[in-house]
Amino acid sequence: MSGSRSKSVVLWTLVTIALVTLSAPTVVVLGASFTGGNIITFPPDGLSLRWYARISQASDLRNAFLRTLQVATVCTIVAIPVGTLAGIALAKYAVRFEKTIQIYLLLPFTIPLIGSGIGLMLIFGNAGILGQLWPVGIACCVINLPFMIWAVTASATGLDPDLELAAANCGAPPLQVFFSVTLPAVMPGVITGSLLMFILALNEFLVSLLLVDARIVTLPVLIYNSIRSIITPDLAAISVVFIACSAVAVFLLDRLVGLDIFLKSK
């Protein structure tokens, strides 16, 4: 980077503030989860793992976490084929009404979450499927679908169409071209997209809040409900589950496709 001293002072000041703001909640939740006392105090009341022992025994927390995993799994399984096909279609073909279709497929982002959530709540309610977990997974899939499509189009634009023509010219029928040439080429996008879909569904709060009832609360909703009553260290310990999941996702993303992929200009 070229530039003067004042430039790096200004840049670094702003970046440091951003870094502290970004990391503070994570660091504090981690710290609070190891506290020895009954309430969260500063400086902490000694170190212990007692809150982890406590949450490993709490079946409501464990069940809520398992339900959340289930929701995220449904979301990802639906999103992978749907988003991959749409992404490839948008990136490769000259589609009529392309602009309109693009705007339409961006609806999940342009409609506010509360609107999407309430709309889905009304139609799932009419269909009589509220109170089950898979509709929550579908809902998470719909509201985050553009992420999946984006990820795939970003890697599909790098695919040379001549490769597919060459494969077809060598006698490969359409499906074989798709599975041997097109799909491997967009694989980084599919991996990025599905990781994003999984982790976003795992954390999805508002749509979950609207679609679940007391019998099937997901973990973010459970934490939200508990925050409203009282703040105890066991909540911090259970929040660490999310921090761990996030760390795993970041690690996988970096290993499988490289985090730098998000810096690439389109």
Name residues contacting other proteins, limited to 7-66 (CB under 8 A): 7, 10-12, 14-15, 17-19, 21-26, 28-29, 32, 39-43
Closer to other proteins by CB, 20 or 49: give it.
20
Interface residue with other proteins among 105, 168, 185, 187 (CB under 8 A) is 105
List the interface residues with other proteins, window 136-175 (CB under 8 A). 138, 141-143, 145-146, 149-150, 153, 157, 173-175
Interface pick for other proteins out of 69, 77, 187, 243 (rule CB under 8 A): 243
Candidate residues 169, 213, 214, 266; the one interacting with other proteins per rule CB under 8 A: 266
Q: In this structure, are residues 234 and 54 in contact, taking their beta carbons and an 8 Å threshold?
A: yes
How far lies 47's CA from each of 33, 37, 204, in Å? 9, 8, 31
Q: For 126, how many CA atoms within 13 A lie in the half-sphere containing its CB?
A: 5
H/E run at residue 110: helix 107-110
Among positions 179-238, residues that touch other proteins (CB under 8 A) are: 199, 202-206, 210, 220, 223-224, 227, 231, 235-236
The one among 49, 58, 247, 256 contacting other proteins by CB under 8 A: 247
Site for other proteins in 109-138 (CB under 8 A): 109-116, 118-120, 122-123, 126, 138
Which one of 38, 49, 53, 81 is in contact with other proteins (CB under 8 A)?
Answer: 81
Tokens of 26: 């994570």
Q: Least Å distance between CB 174 and other proteins?
A: 7
| DSSP secondary structure code for residue 35 in this structure | B
**Hey, what's the torsion of the CAs at 75, 78, 80, 86, to 10 degrees?**
-120
CB 201 within 8 A of CB 71: yes
Which among 210, 171, 158, 189 has a CA at the least distance from the CA of 256? 189
Task: In angstroms, give the least distance from the CB of 27 to other proteins.
Answer: 8
